[in-house]
A and B are shown apart, each in its own frame.
Chain A
Amino acid sequence: MNGVVAALNACEGLHQRGFTFVGGKGPGEDLVVSFHQLRLLARQRAAHYLSLGLRRGDRVALVIPEGEHFIPAFLGALWIGLIPVPLYPPLSLGKLDAFMEALVTILNVARPRALVTSARVGKVLWSAVGQIPSIEKVITSEELQAKPAGALPEAADFKEEEIAFLQFTSGSTALPKGVVVTHGSLAANCKAIVVDGLRADPQRDVGVSWLPLYHDMGLIGLVLAPVLFGISIVYLPTLSFIKNATSWMEAIHKHKGTMSFAPNFAYALVTKRARPEQIARWDLSQMRVFGCGAEPINPETMRNFVRAFAPAGVKPESLLPCYGMAEATLAISFVGLDEPLRTDRIDADRYHSDKKAAPAPGGALEVVNCGRTFPGHALSIQDEDGRLLPDRNVGEICFQGPSVAAGYWENPEATRAAGMGTPGGWLRTGDLGYLVDGELHISGRLKDILIVNGRNYYPQRLEWVVDEIASVRKGSAVVFTRPGAASEEIVVAAETREADLAALKAQIVARISEEFSLAVADVALLPPGALPKTSSGKLQRRKTRDQYLKGALGKEGRGGNARLAVAKHFALSLVGRAQHGALVFFKRLGGA
């Protein structure tokens, strides 16, 4: 199969289609780069890299906020077999220290020889560079724009198993894991997305994306797959969308977009922000695909979105729930085109007690159907011992096929544990779900990851911060998520002897916010011994969460206040809040 570099090389003369960067020439002025030009820009970057002494197999870290500079820098590295390591730029408010810490940790695992960044971001990054011994050169994206001396290099040839780039999953952790995407897994997954999943037609389709380019969905789904198949894309800076969510729909309207992808929270945000007069003005009727992935899908959010934007021509069948992760390169399953949102109502008691998804019309749990996997790939549900489970039995979702990434960068142990690195092996996704006639339903999570606004966070990191607060009982903090309308919401549970619970709650909220820019939706403070522990005294995160969602957490704890708080949690979870990763809904009001 042709890879991304070979496809880009074949773009010579392709002037009619390409990438548009909203505001790329200045406020209100878009920059249009045809695929023909993009090939040239990539080759120019490649020539600079070679003249700086970089060679095939060297890692190059990319911290470049502007899409029009990031994409040529990334493709230029691929062109000659450098291994790009894309990272997010420091763009959130007041988070420079936390950003630098994560950057240094990740790059000391990836060990790049060079860092490419913009001159403006570079000023901020200087102090971090000294802490990354492998970096020999810092190159600005402005320097890469200059015309290189000498001939432009020809495209390298790649074997399928050769490394294309490293994808470090977002969120910080003590030992970051970089997913190794190969040229083979990249091409296989791009084909699955564009050909099998979207049946995209380069002559007709236009994608619109505000997704960050350093993240799998934005980078693979909306940069590399479009390069491979020559599909035009319009890019809106992520920050423009975050500052004003309606700019997303404005861009679709203006550029007659037909496809877009975003996490659940973005659909909630744009539904909240769009004014009726804007919706009346927009024509979104040419949109074939509103893809939704990267975090759990709340069916109510998606229904509200379609309802609100119906006057602009948004069709129910344009919604496309999908499922994937960096370890699968990107996509694992897509719902069929022209299908409206479908959900499965199941019996809550049987789900929790027997791990069975028994159909129950009007049942308490509503699970989104995330569709089928692609030709040449397979899905299975397995128990803890790796036995395959039949339909409607809940277990770990496992995935097999040419899209599965080669493993984690220089981490054979984690690679083996996740089922990667062996041809024909099953990738263990860490997510819980069940199959019905080949259609995947995701109902929960085995791995301990918090997913908020499409970003992953490790609960341990948050727990350490809470544990450092003096009046929190040492080692008692448990952090987990509960389903929310827009995204998952953070809940902190901890044990304390503190009398002033309100002050301690405020302190916990402030510390988590300071360190991670995360809003804490609820804090459950309990007397010592109230949180569930194993016989060896280890805290049980999943059991704590289950008890919390059932309203049973610390029931035997403190008197009135604790009980009132628990009752309030339960009431909230009843009123249209999804359980288990926002896929599942309580409907039985007053069932406490």
Chain B
Amino acid sequence: MQQPIDVVEMFKQAALEVDNRRLPELKAETQISTLGMDSVAVMELVSYFEEKLSVRIPDEELSRIKTVKDLRDAIQRLLPDRAFAA
């Protein structure tokens, strides 16, 4: 049985690895654009999820992703059989 995917925790880890940024307060509702990361770092962060989970978020969906929850929803659509942490 696979562990549920915790997108918020993964996001914190990705921000640390990609941008050396600690985000202890991060929540599913957090607007990604308010974190102060530049657009290159944000795309590297998306790539972190894609590699870890072996998915590819369609390019044109990216412009609609605003919150961590939006990112989780986009990944959930690609992995309908996996469990996700609330």
Footprint of B on A, CB under 8 Å? Answer: 27, 65, 89-96, 99, 120-121, 123-124, 239, 242-244, 265, 269, 452-453, 509-510, 513-514, 517-520
Residue contact B40 to A242, C-beta cutoff 8 Å? yes
Question: B46: which of A123, A243, A514 is its contact (CB, 8 Å)?
Answer: A243
- A257 to B35 alpha-carbon distance, docked (Å): 38
Using CB atoms, name the residue of chain A closest to B42: A93
Distance (whole angstroms) from the CB of A583 to the closest CB of chain B:
21
Residue contact A91 to B62, C-beta cutoff 8 Å? yes
B2 within 8 A of A: no
Residue contact A519 to B41, C-beta cutoff 8 Å? yes
Residue contact A92 to B60, C-beta cutoff 8 Å? no
- Quick one: given A120-B58, A519-B41, are A94 and B36 in contact (CB under 8 Å)? no
Using CB atoms, name the residue of chain B closest to A239: B59
- Ordered by A's residue number, 13 sampled pairs between the chains whose C-beta atoms are within 8 Å are A93-B33, A94-B63, A94-B70, A96-B64, A120-B59, A121-B60, A124-B63, A242-B40, A265-B40, A453-B40, A513-B33, A513-B35, A519-B36
Going nearest first, the 7 A-B pairs with the smallest beta carbon separation are A243-B47, A510-B34, A517-B39, A519-B38, A94-B66, A90-B63, A96-B63
Residues of chain B at interface, number, CB under 8 A: 27
A-B contact count (CB 8 A): 91
Within 8 A of A (CB), among B39-84: 39-44, 46-47, 50, 56, 58-60, 62-66, 70
Interface SS majority for chain B: helix
Residue contact B40 to A269, C-beta cutoff 8 Å? yes
Question: B39: which of A65, A93, A121 is its contact (CB, 8 Å)?
Answer: A93
Distance (whole angstroms) from the CB of B14 to the closest CB of chain A:
12
Distance (whole angstroms) from the CB of B35 to the closest CB of chain A:
7
- Please give 20 more A-B residue pairs, beta carbons under 8 A apart, in addition to A92-B62, A243-B44: A91-B60, A92-B63, A93-B32, A93-B33, A93-B46, A94-B33, A94-B63, A94-B65, A94-B66, A95-B39, A124-B63, A242-B43, A243-B47, A269-B40, A453-B40, A513-B33, A514-B33, A517-B38, A518-B38, A519-B41
- Quick one: given A242-B44, A509-B36, are A514 and B62 in contact (CB under 8 Å)? no
When distances are taken between beta carbons in the complex, the residues of chain A under 8 Å from B50 are: 243
Distance (whole angstroms) from the CB of A160 to the closest CB of chain B:
38
Distance (whole angstroms) from the CB of A88 to the closest CB of chain B:
11
Using CB atoms, name the residue of chain A closest to B58: A120
Using CB atoms, name the residue of chain B closest to A92: B39
When distances are taken between beta carbons in the complex, the residues of chain A under 8 Å from B34 are: 509-510, 513-514
Residue contact B59 to A91, C-beta cutoff 8 Å? yes
When distances are taken between beta carbons in the complex, the residues of chain B under 8 Å from A517 are: 33, 38-39, 42
- A27 to B58 alpha-carbon distance, docked (Å): 13
- A513 to B35 alpha-carbon distance, docked (Å): 7
Question: A90: which of B36, B38, B60 is its contact (CB, 8 Å)?
Answer: B60
B37 within 8 A of A: yes
When distances are taken between beta carbons in the complex, the residues of chain B under 8 Å from A510 are: 31, 33-36
- A239 to B36 alpha-carbon distance, docked (Å): 20
